[in-house]
Structure 1
Amino acid sequence: MSLPERLVPLLDQFDFARRRLTDRLTGPVMDSGNGTDVEVGPVTDAEYLWEPVPDCWSVRRHADGPGPRATVLVGAGEWGRDTTPPPHPAPPPFTTIAWRLNHLSEMLALRADHTNGSRRLTRDDFPVAGDVATALPAFDAAATAWREALLSVDDEALDRVGHCTYPHGSDPEEPFLEIVWWMNQELLHHGAEIALLRDLHRLRAQGLSSGSGRARGV
């Protein structure tokens, strides 16, 4: 089956955003944005779970219960992700790299399943990663599954309302092309947030090692 022409630029954008986030998390280099390689080390568990401000949402062991302003931990396995049923708290809690990466992986995996898979998976079925060694392969697998789901659609499916039956969004009321665009937006904006958190963690560590009082207050 040939790829619908309307899908080509969105798939290219997805591939670019996925590669850029993966490189930003794993190194040894990343694209600075203008084609120049910049050295970057792999993300650590300390960064992954870093809570830069009070009352962050993150991932936590189910045995420990949800964090501040959260009421439940969603996800399968030992770990869960802080959340609460709608309406969510306002203003929204600040979230860690762990929260953001698990959220992104969950959306990719579940939307893939609800596009060309069993169409049965929910958030409670998705294993939440409590460390980097688990989170990075989980993200890669979820992104691969979503890409394969995109390759399974034809031009007619792009216009079909409810082609994706993902239960935690507006998918049943939206043409599939809108969902493809939305997932690119999710990958781009969460990828940028994760990149910024990595920068802040690195600068904080440098400030602490140099004895900067201002950095210690970050």
Structure 2
Amino acid sequence: MAPPRLVPLLKQFDFARERLVRRLSGPDVDSGDGVRVPVTAMTDEEYLWEPVPGCWSVRPRARAHGPGPGPGPGASLLVGAGEWGRDGGRPHPYPPPITTIAWRLHHLGEMLALRADHVIGSHALTENEYAFPGDAAGGVAAFDSAAEAWRRALLAADNTALDRVGHSTYPDGSDPDVPFVEVVWWINQELLHHGAEIALLRDLYRARRG
């Protein structure tokens, strides 16, 4: 059984995860007042849609013939493993680029998968070893799989773990320096705010032809 103070954070995570998946895949989603609103599953075109010039996205590393099209404008590399990579590199440009649904979903999946590994896994997984698909259905499935891995990490935490500084050994954040419960809170706000951004991009894509 989850510690009492973890229960509301776990419920919030479950709500945000389910709401995002249903917003992307359908067949419907709660409008917020109990009414089920129909949702059309996201297409590959929408997944990779760049609403403005200079977007960061998820891109193939190679074409069938010749070099690949990535990284995108302002990016110095394609992050990740496999045939597709996420525009990235440090230092990040300022102001930050607008990012596609694919980029944001990759970011969320990577964040969840890596932190799950650094809590209950090998404690060694890096962003350059994380593979993410270039198609919409695959991207949603990869995100949901990473979310499930993170949920297992949460369920493995007791009160002692919640208070332990460095319980998550993920090195590219504040994880090694703060109690685990603060990492749990941070992950929830990342999922909530990126999920809202993705929902807005879906609205803009639907309305783009006026």
Q: TM-score, normalised by structure 2?
A: 0.95
2:36 aligned partner = 37
Take 2:149 and 2:141, find their aligned partners in 1: how far apart are those partners?
Answer: 12
Take 2:174 and 2:88, find their aligned partners in 1: how far apart are those partners?
Answer: 19
Question: Residue 70 of structure 1 aligns to a residue in which SS?
Answer: coil
Take 1:127 and 1:34, find their aligned partners in 2: how far apart are those partners?
Answer: 37
Question: Residue 146 of structure 1 aligns to a residue in which SS?
Answer: helix
> How many residues get paired?
204
Once the two structures are TM-superposed, the CA of residue 31 in structure 1 deviates from its matched residue by 1.0
Take 1:172 and 1:113, find their aligned partners in 2: how far apart are those partners?
Answer: 14
Structure 2 unaligned residues grouped into runs of 5+: 63-67
2:48 aligned partner = 49
1:119 aligned partner = 123
1:163 aligned partner = 167
Once the two structures are TM-superposed, the CA of residue 54 in structure 1 deviates from its matched residue by 0.6
- Runs of 4 or more off by more than 6 Å in structure 1? none
1:25 aligned partner = 24
Once the two structures are TM-superposed, the CA of residue 133 in structure 1 deviates from its matched residue by 2.4
Take 1:90 and 1:174, find their aligned partners in 2: how far apart are those partners?
Answer: 27
RMSD of Structure 2 on Structure 1 (CA)? 0.9
Once the two structures are TM-superposed, the CA of residue 156 in structure 1 deviates from its matched residue by 0.6
Once the two structures are TM-superposed, the CA of residue 129 in structure 1 deviates from its matched residue by 1.5
Take 2:50 and 2:171, find their aligned partners in 1: how far apart are those partners?
Answer: 29
1:82 aligned partner = 87
Percent identity between matched residues is: 68
1:72 aligned partner = 77
Native 8 Å contact 1:122 1:167 kept in 2: no
Question: Residue 38 of structure 1 aligns to a residue in which SS?
Answer: strand
Once the two structures are TM-superposed, the CA of residue 137 in structure 1 deviates from its matched residue by 1.2
Within 5 Å, give how 1:1-218 maps onto structure 2.
2-63=1-62, 64=68, 65-85=70-90, 87-205=91-209, 207=210
For 1:74-128, what per-residue CA distance to the aligned partner results, in whole angstroms no more than 9, with x for missing partners? 100011000112x311100000000000000000011000001111100011002
Take 1:84 and 1:180, find their aligned partners in 2: how far apart are those partners?
Answer: 26
For 1:140-179, what per-residue CA distance to the aligned partner results, in whole angstroms no more than 9, with x for missing partners? 1100000000000110110111100112211111110000
Take 2:190 and 2:118, find their aligned partners in 1: how far apart are those partners?
Answer: 17
Once the two structures are TM-superposed, the CA of residue 13 in structure 1 deviates from its matched residue by 0.2
Take 1:88 and 1:173, find their aligned partners in 2: how far apart are those partners?
Answer: 23
Once the two structures are TM-superposed, the CA of residue 136 in structure 1 deviates from its matched residue by 1.4
Q: Which amino acid aligns with 2:153?
A: A
Question: Residue 78 of structure 2 aligns to a residue in which SS?
Answer: strand
Q: TM-score, normalised by structure 1?
A: 0.92
